[in-house]
A and B are shown apart, each in its own frame.
Chain A
Amino acid sequence: MNNFQYSRASDVADAIRLLAADPNAKLIAGGTNLIDLMKENVERPSRLIDISRLPLRDIEETADGGLRIGALVPNSDLAYHPLIEQRYPLLASAILAGASAQLRNMASVGGNLMQRTRCAYFYDTTTPCNKRSPGTGCSALDGLNRNHAILGTSSSCIATNPSDMSVALAALGALVHIAGSAGERTLALTDFHRLPDDKPHADTNLGSGEIITAIELPPRGFARNYSYLKIRDRLSYAFALVSVAAALELEGNAIIEARLALGGVAHKPWRSLEAEAALRGQAATPDHFGRAADLLLQGATARSHNGFKIELARRAVVRTLMQATSATPQSQAHKKIA
């Protein structure tokens, strides 16, 4: 790790002031990703601003019947919170599919949104990487790209977003509350992360002087018909090759509302309103699920090693929607895929 200065923010305004005073400073909360990246010399902040003691740990009901979740709520506390388990079990399931128990205890909700790609070239400072060192090139394009993106890629970057939590948040239509020197603003989760285009160094649309204060869940939780299916190289504690968050509202076998998001396939959680619209009003059958999967995967392109992800994602979407339909969500402990 490089030498750095340490400041403890006394409140959100203080954190914003400290960020503005030092363009190379970074916020730290759980630190699970940032400290790792600092040990790899990928991140070299001049100052760490400790926000871990700020009062952003509440989970409160909103006036419209949704939930507002403070940015510093640890991942594990969120996953096991009674209101999340009862009303947003898709979110609980996705969180518990990620990382390890220790990391979930440390990592904050805001930090989960800010975690960086696990592309091996991003981590390897001896190789070119447009995300780590803009303008140097992308080693993954013609390198080992088995884990890389198939949707929304650019000629500059084919990295994926590693978060499980964000995939569920995208499907649920979550909002991200942000504070900065210009005041507060709110972004849809699906607009918070960005595609790489020619600026892959920017993972998100968060401004350099801004801080996430909360995420907000809309009232609709899809607590009956949902599933989060994560396909990976080992059964636990591995990043997704492909993951699917599916949520349905059914009347009999008719689909009233459908939500669908993919993880492990793009620079951000991948959601297609077109695919969801195609499901609405249809019967919950494998044929209709396959058509929605095709729409969701429209434009998918493979590099040399990741072509398998396209078919894997298609099948995983159909399977996850079947699990949601039968109200038998994927267990994150018993690994058999029903």
Chain B
Amino acid sequence: MADITDQIPERIPINLIVNGVRRTLEVVPWTTLLDALRDRLELTGTKKGCDHGQCGACTVLIDGRRVNSCLTLAVMKDGAEITTIEGLAKDGALHPLQQAFIDHDAFQCGYCTPGQICSAAGLLAEGHARGADEIREVMSGNLCRCGAYPNIVAAIEQAMSRS
């Protein structure tokens, strides 16, 4: 194909601060942040669902903002601070959202849960959502095929009221 480069690009060294720890790795340009986290850094808490930004299972926080890691190139995030589900608990204590998801039974199979919780952490940091309707609206980028939505909203309301 004429539009495809003949050369395999050099691997590019990047630094990521992942859950507070500096990690250095070399990536080819088309490595997504999701694949770098899962396959290179062995942080498999972040899930690959649709791989097209439609399901939200891959949600992580970059510099405190929730994003789809499947649509993010790792090389573009050199120097960024990444928070994944593995980085939310502190000193053995669950993050209030993790505890709230348990309290409200806000999952069944659990596959979407890391993305739901990271997305909810972003939601709390943004501070725009007030009440269940607004929580539902700004959580619409996270699908739950088990249909645990009412409990997810209740869990986020609990964490919001205590934060």
Contacts and interface: CB of A to CB of B under 8 A. Distances in A.
A237 B3 contact: no
B38 interface: no
Contacts of A99: 141
B29 A102 contact: no
A332 interface: yes
B86 interface: no
Contacts of B138: 101, 333
B59 interface: yes
Contacts of B1: 2, 44
A10 to B, nearest CB: 14
Interface in B106-151: 119, 122-123, 126, 128, 133-134, 136-142
Contact of B4 (A46, A332, A334): A46
A302 interface: no
B122 to A, nearest CB: 7
A102 B5 CA distance: 31
Interface residues of B, number: 41
A52 B76 contact: yes
Interface in A300-338: 332-335
Given A31-B73, A48-B29, A236-B140, A105 B4 contact: no
A236 B128 CA distance: 17
B53 to A, nearest CB: 6
B76 A28 contact: yes
A334 to B, nearest CB: 5
A197 interface: no
Contacts of A103: 53, 68, 71, 141
A2 B52 CA distance: 16
Contacts of B53: 32, 36, 100, 102-103
| A contact patch SS | loop
Contact of A44 (B4, B9, B136): B4
A25 B121 CA distance: 36
Contacts of A31: 71-73, 76
Contacts of B30: 1-4, 38
B66 interface: yes
A237 B4 contact: no
A44 B1 CA distance: 10
Interface string B1-24: 111110111001000000000000
A196 interface: no
Interface string A102-121: 11011000000000000000
A76 B72 CA distance: 17
Contacts of A332: 137
Contacts of B32: 35
Given A6-B12, A44-B3, 15 more contacts: A3-B4, A3-B30, A31-B71, A35-B32, A40-B52, A46-B3, A48-B29, A76-B126, A100-B53, A100-B141, A102-B53, A103-B141, A105-B122, A106-B67, A106-B72
